[in-house]
Amino acid sequence: MSSERQFLQNLYDAFNKREIETIVDVMHPDVKWANGVAGGFVYGRNAVREYWTNQFKDIQVQLEILKFETDENNRNVVTVHQIVRDLQGNLLVDTTVHQIFTIEDSLISLYEIGETETIQAMIQKTRTSNE
């Protein structure tokens, strides 16, 4: 496994264990991080920490890596199986997502999400279809 793939595997392992500081420590201080819940981006380590702290108060997200790729811009594209549950364990979202990382000097400088809806939009669709 390449060093960047191992780096990302460790990142996902830490995320699934809710080890926020482990992940924040490998981000550029001015990281630009996609807000997968509401859309847009958050900027900087402190904003990412706050984003996840707030997210984990409402939902449980589990990510399983399906595939690693590198795109034409030398970004790491990770295809993941994303499962989102409420705090009671009820399934809200079960989908596949492309997560895109730009790594510079061994730090994540940019995290993007491929063409997809926000988690909020997916949860709303699930709730609407269950009514």
When divided into structural domains, the chain yields a total of 1
- Supply the CATH number for residue 92's domain: 3.10.450.50
Task: Single out the residue of 39, 46, 85 nearest to residue 63, CA to CA.
Answer: 85
Q: Kindly report whether the global pTM for this prediction surpasses the value 0.75.
A: yes
Owner of token pair 């060093």: 3
* Cα 89 to Cα 96: distance, rounded to the nearest angstrom: 19
67-103 residue pLDDT tens? 999 999 999 999 999 999 999 999 988 999 999 999 9
19-56 residue pLDDT tens? 999 999 999 999 999 998 888 999 999 999 999 999 99
